[in-house]
Structure 1
Amino acid sequence: MAPVKLGLVGIGKIARDQHLPSLSRSADFDLVAAASRNAGVDGIANFASTEAMLEAMPEVEAVSLCMPPQARHRAAAQALAMGRHVMLEKPPGATLSEVEHLAGLAAANGVSLYASWHSREAPGVEPARDWLKARRVRKVTVTWKEDVRHWHPGQDWIFEAGGLGVFDPGINALSIVTKILPFPIWLSGADLTFPENRQAPIAADLSFAGPNGEAVEAAFDFRQTGPQTWDIDVETDRGTLKLSMGGARLFVDGAARDLPPEAEYDGLYARFAALIAAGESEVDLAPLRHVADAFLLGRRQVAEPFLFDPAAAP
């Protein structure tokens, strides 16, 4: 099959760091256009909006949306209504309801919708899932702590309503946990820490329960400096498992397992191409549902104001 002609929307940090390199390696897609308010991609057609791109370029068959989640629904709905396949960066939207609406639009227009979770493509995730299938899980401990100033420099949108705050990275951990565990979990308690000048949390401590007494504890924090921590530790009836570096490394009973190199976004685009070829959609909302539950159930705590540039404090 000929490569699918694709338009990339939202040319920010994640697009430049991940999407553009993966698309340059992909035999499944031909990047022909980009849409972004403040940036562009050399060598292809550039537009200020998704609508302008799709109206001017009917040859674009699919779009990949990388803008902040608060603005994603409108662009996705336009593309689906115009008969284009859509891939959504994580989180797939600002609310569960809007993503469910997009799933209905995709079905009604006979196109594919892919709500992607890049951390599920980390090389240790599938081996971890396979190892856990034959064991009884007793306890899961998630430690996901990183420096927001490094990973989201100056990106105030992440602390606005709908930006998710620390759940922007934390949802990556939840996407892995919901992939590797052979049973469902549900939130039983949460403490959310909000800077007094922000609308989204900078830290969160979560407790989940499983159907047979399994316990899952998660600690997310955006204030980590120095080495970053993206770990999932699992205790079972027959040994321990550890995913570290966001799933790039896997340890069983303390011994490292051999894994292929990291290629998360290459895996996402391969999956998107397979869905298009099969005429199918994939919209797993479990990680976003857990985040929504945390906002529903969480106890709010207030911390000192947060500024990306501490020197700018009055």
Structure 2
Amino acid sequence: MPSTSNPIALGIVGVGKIVRDQHLPALAGNDNYRLIAVASRHGKVDGIANFPSIEAMLEAVPTLEAVSLCMPPQARYTAARAALDAGKHVFLEKPPGATVSEVEDLRRLAVTKGVSLFASWHSRYAPAVEAARSFLASTQIHAASIVWKEDVRRWHPNQDWIWQAGGLGVFDPGINALSIATHIFPAMFITGATLEFPENRAAPIAAAIDFRTAQDLAVSADFDWRQTGPQSWDIFAETDRGQMALSGGGAKLVVDGHVVHQENEAEYPALYRRFAEIVRSGTSDVDLAPLQHVADAFMLGKRRTVEAFID
């Protein structure tokens, strides 16, 4: 295990938009890591070793201690298993896999190999999420709702994989909302859902979901990828201490119109700090609740066909 004074030798697999926008800037400001290699079929990073596959990278760079897997979820299991088999710590970009069962298998393998596995729910690390969690823990919640609507053309231009089976469709952003909700609300289960599929796509463009807790709290969620103009990433709760609004994807907490907490987004630096913690402590952090809710929505949801989506 790396010591606290030695940076973790890291490789990244899958060099796409999320890596360039988030992972590389976060790593550039973190002394816990030394990025020494990447593996990608299409992307490259200047100044370090580049490989066409994770297998080639693992064979050529035995000094790697950890890998961040940032390819689409449909291909992540095979890559994660290769890294774990090689004794590497693994950071899983969200969602951690295409199915619940494959991530469970990876969690068991990480224990067997004695390495760390991290399911990195980045929205859970938004700056006002912990403040919202603390506020709700001190209240009685009467009702709650999630409104997560954005423009797919803006955030996922020309990304065909996200519309394929296993790509999650609108649940790719929706799972961010679920990662926050499962952290700040009591444990929930789905009672019903309606999923809207474009007639030319294999993944939904919108979803309406009803949840309930063991305490009989009703929580509704409205996910939509057709939003234009301002984007909506909001979670609301009616409580005995007032109305809570967690907005901006978890960046701002307002209670009864008063700002309680607001900071600039810094999710990925926080994720990499957390990954370093679990690597150095020899533990794992793999919460499957958000992915389980997505699986349940597909299992219980009524399918509704809507007009074709043209990118």
Using the size of structure 1 for normalisation, the TM-score is 0.97
**Alpha-carbon offset, residue 213 of structure 1:** 1.9
> Any conservation in 1 of the 2:210–2:218 contact (CA below 8 Å)?
yes
> Which residue identity does 1:249 align to in structure 2?
K
> Which residue identity does 1:172 align to in structure 2?
N
> What is the aligned length?
307
Q: Deviations over 1:29-51 (max 9, x none)?
A: 11111110001001110001111
Matched, 1:272 2:278: no
> Any conservation in 1 of the 2:128–2:261 contact (CA below 8 Å)?
no
Q: State the distance in 2 between where 1:66 and 1:234 align.
A: 33
The equivalent position to 2:102 in structure 1, one of 87, 93, 98, is 98
Matched, 1:193 2:176: no
Q: State the distance in 2 between where 1:122 and 1:260 align.
A: 9
**Alpha-carbon offset, residue 287 of structure 1:** 0.2
Partner of 2:174: 170
Q: Deviations over 1:251-281 (max 9, x none)?
A: 0111112433321000000000000010000
Partner of 1:38: 42
The equivalent position to 2:152 in structure 1, one of 148, 154, 159, is 148
> Which residue identity does 2:300 align to in structure 1?
L
Partner of 2:249: 246
Q: Deviations over 1:49-103 (max 9, x none)?
A: 1110011000110000111000000000000000000000000000001000100
Q: State the distance in 1 between where 2:310 and 2:110 align.
A: 40
Q: State the distance in 2 between where 1:207 and 1:292 align.
A: 14
> Which residue identity does 1:117 align to in structure 2?
W
**Alpha-carbon offset, residue 161 of structure 1:** 0.3
**Where in structure 2 are there 5+ consecutive unaligned residues?**
none
Matched, 1:159 2:149: no
Q: Deviations over 1:140-163 (max 9, x none)?
A: 111100011110000010010000
Secondary structure of the residue that 1:247 maps to in structure 2?
coil
Q: Deviations over 1:184-229 (max 9, x none)?
A: 1100010000001111100000000011221100000011111111
Secondary structure of the residue that 2:283 maps to in structure 1?
coil
Partner of 1:263: 266
Partner of 1:10: 14
Using the size of structure 2 for normalisation, the TM-score is 0.98
The equivalent position to 2:233 in structure 1, one of 219, 230, 233, is 230
Q: Where do 1:75-86 residues align within 5 Å?
A: 75-86=79-90
Partner of 1:184: 187
Q: State the distance in 1 between where 2:58 and 2:25 align.
A: 23
Secondary structure of the residue that 1:287 maps to in structure 2?
helix
Deviates more, 1:217-226 or 1:257-266: 257-266
Matched, 1:205 2:212: no
> Which residue identity does 2:292 align to in structure 1?
R
Q: Deviations over 1:11-40 (max 9, x none)?
A: 101111100100001111111111100010
Q: Where do 1:266-305 residues align within 5 Å?
A: 266-305=269-308
> Any conservation in 1 of the 2:209–2:221 contact (CA below 8 Å)?
yes
> Any conservation in 2 of the 1:235–1:241 contact (CA below 8 Å)?
yes
> Any conservation in 1 of the 2:69–2:91 contact (CA below 8 Å)?
yes
> Any conservation in 1 of the 2:212–2:219 contact (CA below 8 Å)?
yes
Q: State the distance in 2 between where 1:302 and 1:213 align.
A: 31
Q: Where do 1:103-142 residues align within 5 Å?
A: 103-142=107-146
Q: State the distance in 1 between where 2:40 and 2:261 align.
A: 40
Q: State the distance in 1 between where 2:39 and 2:96 align.
A: 18
> Any conservation in 2 of the 1:205–1:217 contact (CA below 8 Å)?
yes
> Any conservation in 2 of the 1:138–1:213 contact (CA below 8 Å)?
no
